[in-house]
Copies of this chain bind each other. A is one copy, B any other.
């Protein structure tokens, strides 16, 4: 691994298996020689619940603190949900990149694109596709708890999201967790071999 870290921003429709694939990528990176892995933590203005701790589940901020971060350009992307802000603060991500970590994001389409704008050279955007819409439906129904109209709404939403896949740099089809994991590991390896990340390799020689 080079000195500089890397952001892997992964989006895809609900039910496509982003979380499972990213957990497998994280496990493989921890076993390998690729350097350490980081997971991004969101910031929010909602109150902590139960045993939630600041800097573990979320960075808990006041409305004033959050709005100051937005004004300072220090929030990469944010959204408002039930009257509270949720977003990705730039400082912890910047620090993890500086420490040479691979920072994994399971994030919305807008979140991935915002990460790429914020860190053009150090962020890679990947969209996860299902093998087929039938398979996606099977996976959504497999969760067992949803009504038909909820499933249908999710499938309609999934189709809308898939039409935006071409805004991403890489498309990975999740035929199996192992194949999708290996595809993402190959993308990480190849990205680190790009000439822009290998300048020191040449400098050390001549």
Contacts and interface: CB of A to CB of B under 8 A. Distances in A.
Interface residues of A, number: 34
Contacts of A132: 204-205
A36 interface: no
B133 A171 contact: no
Interface in A154-192: 159, 162-163, 165-166, 168-173, 182-183, 185-187, 189-191
* Closest 7 pairs between A and B when the two form their complex, measured CB to CB: A190-B190, A171-B198, A186-B189, A186-B186, A187-B190, A170-B193, A159-B206
A202 B189 CA distance: 24
A71 interface: no
A162 B129 contact: no
A194 interface: yes
14 contacts: A133-B205, A162-B206, A163-B206, A166-B199, A169-B194, A169-B195, A170-B193, A170-B195, A173-B201, A185-B186, A186-B190, A187-B189, A187-B193, A190-B190
B172 A195 contact: no
A205 to B, nearest CB: 5
A130 interface: yes
Contacts of A195: 127, 165-166, 168-171
Given A129-B201, A189-B186, A201-B129, A194 B206 contact: no
B129 A171 contact: no
